[in-house]
Structure 1
Amino acid sequence: MENRTKGLLYMLTVVVLWGFSFVATKLLLGYLDPVSLVFARFFIATILLFAICRKRENYSRDEIRYVAIAGFLGITCYQMFENVALTFTTATNSSLISATVPVFFLLTIDVSRRKFSKQTKYIGALIAFIGVGLLVLNGTFNLNLNPLGDILMIGSVFSWVFYTMFIDRMGSRNMLIVSRDLTLAGTVFLLPFVIFGAQNLRIDIFSQTDLLVVSAALIYLGLFCSALGFLYWNKAIHLAGSATTTNGIYLIPLVTIIGDSMIIGNIPNIYVLIGAALVLAGVYLSERG
């Protein structure tokens, strides 16, 4: 199997895992405060990754910085920007702003190398973004702008953009070890937020059923969405390329819609179907460019 094909399979696997993660996260927020949830998720991921791999990597001084910065950007900054933003802005705004990651990544890469990509890439990105808009808005254009919350979400977007660029620089290294070490770094950087927010700590587990639900959801987020998710995403960046992998973000709302239909029974309307078609067409056109 070609490296690019392997990378695409890794990317699509993570898209499915992250698409369903919204259900688990929404469920857990009924029991835990956001900071505790994020820390518990990545603490579990760190333990699992160290259990799987105990090898050491001989990083150069620059690579040590790259790993630490990647963990800070991709885990600490991204998660905290997103969680705090959601206390000020709507989930709709957050979803739409998150969908701009591939566009900003393309622009950032082009600016850094002072050479712009073909127009078809930007046209494809625009079509895919419009498709995501239809999926998220579901035919009802109702955006409530909140400057602080929306700016924080833009912060999460750029955190992920620069995280991707740093992972790109680590392509020659063992991605299992890199993913393990950056997850540890990101979890450690979360500690000050946990300590600072200790007075707002909330754990509403009152029965054995609650404990089972919380445990299952945390295992899903920690094992599948964080440990395996970050590992496979980082491998996809290395094998399929950072631009192609980042375009997979457009597909996450599509998976969420499918999951919503399968699990909850919500039937997609015409706007969702058109949005899904535009997402697929936009990603295809962007890749062809």
Structure 2
Amino acid sequence: MEDRKKGIVYMLIVITIWGFSFVATKVLLEYLDPAIIAVTRFLMATIILFAICRKKENYKRGEIWYVVLSGFLGITCYYMFENVALTFTTVSNASLISATVPVFFLLTVDSLKRSLSRPIKYIGAIIAFVGVGLLILNGKFNLDLNPLGDFLMIGSVFSWVFYTLIIDRMGSRNVLIVCRDLTLAGTVFLLPFAIYETQELRIDIFSQYDLLVVIAALIYLGVFCSALGFLYWNKAIQLAGPATTTNGIYLLPIVAIIGDSIIIGNVPNIYVMFSTGLVLAGVYLSERS
């Protein structure tokens, strides 16, 4: 299998895993504070990654700063923005705003290159985003605006855009080692936020059921979404390229809808089917160009 196809497979695995991360985080916010959730999941991920790989990488001076900055942007900034945003806004709003990442990535890359991509690429991006919007609204145009929460989600979008650009600059470096080191850096930057929250620590766990829910959600976020998710996502960027990998974010709501139909039994309606078609068509046009 050629590298690009391998990268797409890695991307699809991560999208499948991340499709439920918003829900898991929203559930945890009923019991714990945002920074506590973030630092716990990434501390778990750091321990797992160091257990898997103990090799050292001989980074150049500039590359060390890339690792530190990518950890700060992709972990500290992104997940603090997202976790705090979810205390003010809905999962639907957060999912919709997150789906703008490929659009802003395309605009950012073109701005840095000082040249525009082919128009078909922008047309594909717009079609995919419209599809995501219709998919989340599900024919009910009653999007609940939460200015503070939505603004914070926009912060997470730009954090992820620049994180992707930096990871792409790491080139052929060992992805496992880079992922391990940037996860450690991001976790260290999260600690001050977690320490600040401990001044008024909130742990609303009142029963054994609550405890099991919290443990299960943290394991899911820490092991699958963080350790494995970041590892495979960075590998996808290396193999398939940042643009193709980033376009996979359009597929996140589709995964959530599929999971909803399988686990809860909600049968997709005509809006879901039409919206899914738009998303897939938009991604196809962007990639075909």
When the two structures are superposed, what TM-score results if normalisation uses the length of structure 2?
0.96
Q: Percent identity?
A: 76
Contact between 1:33 and 1:200, CA under 8 Å: does it hold in 2?
A: no
Residue of structure 1 in register with 2:62 after alignment: 62
Residue of structure 1 in register with 2:161 after alignment: 161
Letter in 2 for 1:98: S
The Cα of 1:235 is off from its aligned counterpart by: 0.4
Deviates more, 1:51-60 or 1:261-270: 261-270
**1:22 matches 2:29:** no
Residue of structure 1 in register with 2:13 after alignment: 13
Flag the 1:59–1:159 CA change in 2: closer, same or farther, 3 A: same
The Cα of 1:87 is off from its aligned counterpart by: 3.0
Letter in 2 for 1:287: E
Letter in 2 for 1:118: R
Letter in 1 for 2:17: L
Deviates more, 1:133-142 or 1:31-40: 31-40
SS of 1:152 mapped into structure 2:
helix
Query: Within 1, Cα distance between the matches of 2:27 and 2:84?
Result: 18
Deviation by residue 1:232-275 (Cα, 9 ceiling, x = unmatched): 00000000000000000000110001101111111211111111
**1:40 matches 2:40:** yes
Query: Within 1, Cα distance between the matches of 2:26 and 2:150?
Result: 20
Query: Within 1, Cα distance between the matches of 2:52 and 2:200?
Result: 34
Flag the 1:6–1:58 CA change in 2: closer, same or farther, 3 A: same
Query: Within 1, Cα distance between the matches of 2:43 and 2:133?
Result: 33
Letter in 2 for 1:103: V
Residue of structure 1 in register with 2:225 after alignment: 225
Contact between 1:86 and 1:149, CA under 8 Å: does it hold in 2?
A: yes
Letter in 2 for 1:230: F
Deviation by residue 1:70-122 (Cα, 9 ceiling, x = unmatched): 00000110111112223333333322211110000001001101121111110
Residue of structure 2 in register with 1:199 after alignment: 199
When the two structures are superposed, what TM-score results if normalisation uses the length of structure 1?
0.96
Residue of structure 2 in register with 1:129 after alignment: 129
The Cα of 1:141 is off from its aligned counterpart by: 1.0
Q: CA RMSD in A?
A: 1.4
Contact between 2:29 and 2:87, CA under 8 Å: does it hold in 1?
A: no
Contact between 1:100 and 1:157, CA under 8 Å: does it hold in 2?
A: yes
Residue of structure 2 in register with 1:120 after alignment: 120
Query: Within 1, Cα distance between the matches of 2:214 and 2:27?
Result: 8
| Matching of residues 71-110 of structure 1 within 5 Å | 71-110=71-110
Flag the 1:268–1:6 CA change in 2: closer, same or farther, 3 A: same
SS of 1:32 mapped into structure 2:
coil
Residue of structure 2 in register with 1:151 after alignment: 151
Contact between 2:26 and 2:91, CA under 8 Å: does it hold in 1?
A: no
Query: Within 1, Cα distance between the matches of 2:195 and 2:184?
Result: 17
SS of 1:197 mapped into structure 2:
helix
Contact between 1:260 and 1:266, CA under 8 Å: does it hold in 2?
A: yes
Contact between 1:124 and 1:285, CA under 8 Å: does it hold in 2?
A: yes
Contact between 2:28 and 2:37, CA under 8 Å: does it hold in 1?
A: yes
Query: Within 2, Cα distance between the matches of 1:97 and 1:55?
Result: 38
Query: Within 2, Cα distance between the matches of 1:159 and 1:52?
Result: 27
SS of 1:266 mapped into structure 2:
coil
Deviates more, 1:141-150 or 1:4-13: 141-150
Letter in 2 for 1:125: A
